[in-house]
Chain A
Amino acid sequence: MEEGRAERRRRTEAPSHTQGGPRRAGVMTDVHRRFLQLLMTHGVLEEGDVRRLQNHCYRVHDRSAAVEELEDFINNINSVLESLYIEIKKGATEDDGRPVYALVNLATTSVSKMASDFAENELDLFRKALELIIDSETGFASSTNILNLVDQLKGKKMRKKEAEQVLQKFVQNKWLIEKEGEFTLHSRAILEMEQYIRETYPDAVKICNICHSLLIQGQSCETCGIRMHLPCVAKYFQSNSEPRCPHCNDYWPHEIPEVFDPEKEREAGTSRATKRSLRSRQH
């Protein structure tokens, strides 16, 4: 059980952890178990809702205890999940930088959530859409272009009408996002499949110059071509009146988005619900 453990590095590793020694896994209580059970019912969950969930679990099992800081709480659970090759991974939505969490598989095995929910031809349709999305300049693939590939699908023959419904199923299950007839990857898919995508499409894949993670949507420098996520742009150029490309120093020609502020969201309250319906269905 200890063999190989020292080799494994986790993103959320505490800085004080010593290398080489066997890591002591955290302890699971009913608070953690209920949290995991309920987290699993969501494909991906926004940070605010994750906190609500955490508070709920404390209320059910341990009212008197102080609610542990979310990051520590999750690190604790992840240390137990490590031996099962899964982890609660934190990411951010590509359009506005909302922190999101998902339970993801760390080992590539044949057992996967997506494989169990969809038929062979449906999975192949997703694969085709994924490839178009990765190859595209904008990170979006048009419905038309995806549907034109239905003849090439493995498995049972699928008609375009059916394929349209399958694409909607992907949207409902939070694997894809639809915006004005075009599709891109949901944050859930990015969290779950980043590793797979980087290994399968090493030449086509785009990487963010700031955070070095997989990039599907973002801004690019028109001179040297480097790319950045919108939330990474927001953070990097925050309160910078003359934004310049970090690589070639040319003037950054795009609009700088605002950094995501959870406080502002909470204050906005009802206006957020309106904003939501105007935005593409993301969460």
Chain B
Amino acid sequence: AAEEAPSTSRGAGSSQEARSSSSQGSRRAEASPEVGPRSQQQLELKVAELVQFLLIKDQKKIPIKRTDILKHVIGDYKDIFPDLLKLAAERLEYVFGYKLVELEPKSNTYILINTLEPVEEDAEVRGDQGTPTTGLLMIVLGLIFMKGNTIKETEVWDFLRRLGVYPTKKHLVFGDPKKLITEEFVRQRYLEYRRIPHTDPVDYELQWGPRTNLETSKMKVLKFVAKVHNQDPKDWPAQYCEALADEEARARPETSGPAPSS
């Protein structure tokens, strides 16, 4: 049922005219992939496709590769890819409140950052789990930061055990915590998981991933930790200083901005 009429990204062959269906007020339009000046409507449709593609891909929280965008959506419109991406980014931000950012400079992968702050009551009205702003991920992010931005996997489990979360035991809420932390969160780029060389038995270290730095901040995580302990962020002077410095660095205008690079 999802295999509808040929998309605009397929090459050569039938060029179909854009037409509007008058029934029910809905319409069906396609752009023909001819070389040369494209109509306003064709461009509009391309941007629309791109916006939808980015939204759908980001829902899975996996960074979107430029190569995938070119392959599945842009196709013959490759020559104006940067313009299409810019237009799509503008629409995403204006209409949905999502900012398109490159995961790391020159990585050619993108994620969507929410410009709206998540609110606790969102959980009551949403239809899915949402981004893990509280819960296991935040706890791990907090642990990592408080321990000096890197922590051994064994230390993580030592801590989580106290909360009834074990690497080998199925958890009622988190399912498979080991898989969640060492695979899922890593795949989503919230965490980095690296083997520590020359350790026996093998141990791994965990650090913040690039998505974490884009979606949250040291100060936000420190505030979370403080809240959990019912204390003030300033009760941890070293971390508080570090978080402040991070805030200042963020406030400074960036030379390589988060806008998608061409």
* A interface residues with partner B (beta carbon < 8 Å): 1, 3-4, 7-13, 28, 30, 33-34, 36-38, 40-43, 45, 49, 52-53, 56, 59-60, 80-81, 83-87, 89, 105-116, 118, 123, 126-127, 130, 189, 193-196, 198-199, 213
Contacts and interface: CB of A to CB of B under 8 A. Distances in A.
Nearest to B57: A116
B119 A60 contact: yes
A123 B2 contact: yes
B128 interface: yes
B27 A84 contact: no
Nearest to B128: A41
Contacts of A34: 97, 116, 122
B215 to A, nearest CB: 15
B96 interface: yes
6 contacts: A36-B96, A41-B126, A109-B4, A111-B53, A116-B57, A126-B2
A85 B29 contact: yes
Contacts of A114: 1-2
B26 interface: yes
Contacts, number: 153
B70 interface: no
A11 B95 contact: no
A3 to B, nearest CB: 5
Residue of A59, A81, A86, A107 with most chain B CB atoms under a 10 A cut-off: A107
B56 interface: yes
B97 A213 contact: no
B73 A4 contact: no
Residue of B1, B25, B45, B125 with most chain A CB atoms under a 10 A cut-off: B1
B48 interface: yes
A81 B116 contact: no
A206 B28 CA distance: 21
A110 B7 contact: yes
B21 interface: yes
Given A1-B44, A45-B127, A112-B2, A11 B25 contact: yes
B21 A195 contact: yes
B184 interface: no
Interface string B118-161: 01011011111010000000000000000000000000000000
Given A42-B126, A110-B7, A196-B4, 18 more contacts: A7-B20, A10-B25, A28-B94, A33-B115, A45-B127, A83-B48, A85-B29, A85-B48, A106-B26, A106-B27, A108-B28, A109-B30, A109-B52, A110-B3, A111-B52, A111-B53, A112-B4, A196-B1
B52 A86 contact: yes
Residue of A59, A80, A195 with most chain B CB atoms under a 10 A cut-off: A195
B40 A1 contact: yes
B222 interface: no
B9 interface: yes
A247 B1 CA distance: 33
Contacts of A10: 25
A89 B26 CA distance: 10
A126 B4 contact: no
A1 B40 CA distance: 6
A11 B24 CA distance: 6
A126 B2 CA distance: 9
A85 B94 CA distance: 15
Nearest to B129: A41
Given A1-B40, A8-B20, A105-B52, A85 B5 contact: no
B95 A84 contact: yes
Contacts of A42: 126-127
B24 A115 contact: no
B28 A107 contact: yes
A109 B8 CA distance: 7
A10 B23 CA distance: 9
Nearest to B6: A110
Contacts of A4: 18, 20, 40-41
Given A30-B116, A86-B48, A108-B30, A12 B20 contact: no
Contact of A30 (B97, B122, B128): B97
Contacts of A108: 4-5, 28, 30
